Structure 1
Amino acid sequence: MKLKPFLFFLLFIPQLIIAQHAGNQNYVAMNSRQPVRAGQPSPYVGVEVNALMNVKASSYTAVFNVTQVGGTSDSTNNLINSRIEKIIKGVMALGIDRKDVHIDMVSFVPVYEVEVEKKLFSKTYNEVPKGFEIQKNLHINYVEPGILDDIITLCADNEIYDLVKVDYFVDDLEAIYDSLQQAALRIVASKKSFYKAIGIDFDQFNMIFSEQRAAITPHDAYSNYQAFSSYSLEAVKQSKGLKEVKKQTSLFYNPISYKNFDVVINPVINEPVVQFTLNLKMNFTPKPETPKTVEVKVEKHKYFMLMPDGQMKELNIKCND
C-alpha cells in the first residue's frame, strides 16, 4: 500500500518534465498529432523530396524613418540633415563605411493648422499652412549583427525611434542551391533503392519531373505572441472588482518546422537565419505495352489445268500482286 503514492509520482514526472520545456507558446496554439497512414495503392509511383538549408546572412541593411517638421522648407531640411549627419558620423565611428549609408527621400509636404474666423452669427474654420514636414529613410548596411544595438542607441540619441525593417542578404546563392540539390539527389537515390527492394522496376516507367525553390527571410518568419495570465481566484471569492490588465503583444522568431523535410542542412540555429528550401517531385507512370508484331501471311494463288487424261497439272504462272 505504501508504494502507490510513489508509483503515481513516477508516472506523473514525465508529464511535468515535458511541460517545463513546452513554453508559453502552448497557450497560443496546441499541437495536433495524427498517426501517419499510407495512401491507397496505385499503379503510379511518386517520389517527393523536401530539402532545407539554414544560412546565416552575409550582410544586413537596417532602415530607419526620420521625420522632421519646421516653419520653413529650408529650416526643416537643415534640421533633418543635421540629425542624419550625426548618425552618419556615429556609424562611421563604429567601423561602417560612408558608402554603406544611403539616404532616401520619402516625402516633403506642408503642415496645416485650423484658424477660426469669427463672424457676427457664425464661425468659419479655415486650414492654413503653418510649416513643412520632411520624411527620409536612412539605410545602413552592416556585416556584424551585434552592431545593430549600437546603431539603434545612436539613432535614439538623435530622436530617431522608427526602425522600419532589417533586410537580410546572402552571398553565393548558386552554391547554396547546389548543396540542396546534391542532398536531394542522395534522398532520391535512397528512396528509389527502397522501391526497387520491394520489387518496383523503374525501367518499366516513364518519368516527369518538377522543381520548386524558395527563400524565407527572418522578417517573414516572425509570429505574434501574447503572454497568458489568469484572474486570481481569491479576488473572485471576495467579490472584488477585477480590472483586466492589457496583455503585451510581442513577436518571436518562428522558423519553418523541420517535420516535413527529408533533409536539413545546418539544423541547429541560435539566431534568425535565411531558410532556403528545395522541393523535387517525380511521377513515374507505367510504360505502355509494346504491341505484338502480327505476321501477315500472303497466300499465293495456284493455277491448275485439267489435262486430257483427267489429271490436274499445276501451272507455273507468276502474278504481280
Structure 2
Amino acid sequence: MKKLFFKFLTLLFSPLIIAQASGNINYQNRQYAANNTINISFPENEAIMVSVKGLANVKADAYTAIFSITQTGKTTQEVNELMDKRIMQSLNEIKLKKGVETFIDMISFVPVYEYEAEKKVFNRKTYNEVPAGFELKKNIHIKYTDPNQLNEFISILSNYEIYDLVRVDYFSNSLETIKKEMMNKAKILIQEKVKNYEMVLGETFTNAEKRIADDFIVNVPVEMYRSYEAYNSSSLNLKKAANINQLNKSVTLYYQPVVSKEFDFVMNPAVLEPVIQIQYEIKIAITKERKLLSKTDKEFILVTPNGDLKTLNISAARQN
C-alpha cells in the first residue's frame, strides 16, 4: 500500500520536478522550438551543395558600462551645479579602481513645463503651460577589464542617486585571429566533405564547375537577452459577472546564446558567462561535369505530330 501511494505522489509531482530542472521559462510559451529532425532537400540546378558552419564563443577582455543620469532644477545654474557635483563625486571614487577609464556624454538640456490652472467665475478651468525649470541628461561611460567591478560601480553610483544602467558592451582584441582560425578549420572540414561525396558517388569533382561563398555573423551579449514572466495563474469558473483584480507579474531577463547544435564545429563550447559569439559559414556549389558527345555520335531529335520532342538513340540502333 505504501509503494502504491509513493508511486501516486511521484506521478502527481513529476511535472513540477521537470519544470524545476529545466527552469522557470517553461511556464512561458517557448520562444524557440526544438528541432530534433534533419530536413534535407535536394540541390537545385543539378548542383551539389557542400557547407560547413562553425561557432566560436569568445570571452570579452574589455567592457563599457553606460549609466544614465538626469537632473532637474529651477535655473540653468542650479541644474549644472547639481549635475556636476553628483558626477564628480561618483567618478572620484570610481577612478580609484584599477584599469578604469571614464567618459561623460552630453545627451540633452531642455526646459521643463508644467500646467497652471486659470480660474474663472462662470467658465470651466483653463490650464496653461508655464516654464517650471530645466532638465539635464548625461551618460557616464565606464570602461573596465574585470567584470566583477560592475557591482562596485553600481554600489558607488547608487549613493549619488544614479541607478539607470543603460547597457553593457563587450569587446575582444582577438576577434580577427579567431576568424582566421575558423576559416582554416572550415577549409579542412569542407575538403573532407567533398572527398566523402566523391567516394560515395564514385567520381571526381576535379574538372567540375565550382562556386564558393562565405560570411561571418558576430553576436554580442546585449542582443541575446530574452524576457519571460514566471507565474502560474488559477482558472476560475465564474457563473456570474465578477470583478477580477490581477497583480502585475514580474518580468525576468535571461541570457540566451546561439545554440551550438547546428554547427559542424564549436570553439570553446562551454558557456558560463555572456560571451561574444562568432558564426562562420562557407558554401561550395559543385556542378558536375557533363559528358560531351564524340564526333562520331550524333544526336537526332524527332518531332511527333503532336509537337513533342523525342531523342533518337542512333548508336544503340546501329549496334542492334
- What TM-score comes out, normalization by structure 2 length? 0.79
> What SS is found at the alignment partner of 1:145?
coil
- Alignment partner of 1:54 out of 46, 52, 57: 57
Task: Note the C-alpha offset of 1:292.
Answer: 4.0
Task: Note the C-alpha offset of 1:242.
Answer: 7.1
The 5-angstrom pairing of residues 22-101 of structure 1 reads 22-29=22-29, 31-40=33-42, 43-97=46-100, 100-101=101-102
Query: Quick one: which amino acid aligns to residue 229 of structure 1?
Result: N
Task: Note the C-alpha offset of 1:287.
Answer: 2.8
The reply to whether residue 105 of structure 1 matches residue 100 of structure 2 is: no
- Which stretch of the first structure deviates more once superposed, 172-181 or 54-63? 172-181
Query: Quick one: which amino acid aligns to residue 220 of structure 1?
Result: E
The reply to whether residue 229 of structure 1 matches residue 201 of structure 2 is: no
Instruction: Output the CA distance in 2 between the equivalents of 1:37 and 1:119.
Output: 76
1:298 corresponds in structure 2 to none
Distance 1:242 1:126, change over 3 A: closer
Asked whether the 8 Å contact 2:27–2:232 carries over to 1, the reply is: no
- What TM-score comes out, normalization by structure 1 length? 0.78
Distance 1:277 1:40, change over 3 A: closer
- Which stretch of the first structure deviates more once superposed, 280-289 or 32-41? 32-41
Task: Note the C-alpha offset of 1:33.
Answer: 4.1
**Greater Rg, structure 1 or structure 2?**
1
Instruction: Output the CA distance in 1 between the equivalents of 2:6 and 2:70.
Output: 66
Instruction: Output the CA distance in 2 between the equivalents of 1:292 and 1:219.
Output: 63
Instruction: Output the CA distance in 2 between the equivalents of 1:187 and 1:164.
Output: 42
Unmatched 5+ residue regions in structure 1? 295-321
Q: Indicate the RMSD between aligned Cα atoms, in angstroms.
A: 3.4
Unmatched 5+ residue regions in structure 2? 297-320
Query: Quick one: which amino acid aligns to residue 196 of structure 1?
Result: E
- Which stretch of the first structure deviates more once superposed, 155-164 or 283-292? 283-292
The 5-angstrom pairing of residues 154-173 of structure 1 reads 154-173=156-175
Task: Note the C-alpha offset of 1:87.
Answer: 1.6
Task: Note the C-alpha offset of 1:118.
Answer: 3.2
- Alignment partner of 1:264 out of 266, 270, 285: 266
Equivalenced residue count is 287
Asked whether the 8 Å contact 2:43–2:49 carries over to 1, the reply is: no
Query: Quick one: which amino acid aligns to residue 113 of structure 2?
Result: Y
Distance 1:121 1:267, change over 3 A: same
Task: Note the C-alpha offset of 1:116.
Answer: 2.7
2:216 corresponds in structure 1 to 213
Instruction: Output the CA distance in 2 between the equivalents of 1:125 and 1:10.
Output: 66
Instruction: Output the CA distance in 2 between the equivalents of 1:186 and 1:170.
Output: 26
1:203 corresponds in structure 2 to 206
Asked whether the 8 Å contact 2:68–2:137 carries over to 1, the reply is: yes
Instruction: Output the CA distance in 1 between the equivalents of 2:234 and 2:11.
Output: 30
Task: Note the C-alpha offset of 1:183.
Answer: 1.6
Residues 218-244 of structure 1: CA deviation (Å, up to 9, x unaligned): 0100011211324399x99xxx99754
Query: Quick one: which amino acid aligns to residue 47 of structure 2?
Result: Y
Residues 165-223 of structure 1: CA deviation (Å, up to 9, x unaligned): 11111113220100111121122122123212212411141110111111000010001
Task: Note the C-alpha offset of 1:93.
Answer: 1.9
Distance 1:193 1:26, change over 3 A: farther
- Which stretch of the first structure deviates more once superposed, 106-115 or 42-51? 42-51
- Which stretch of the first structure deviates more once superposed, 240-249 or 152-161? 240-249
Percent of residue pairs bearing the same amino acid type: 37
Query: Quick one: which amino acid aligns to residue 27 of structure 2?
Result: Y
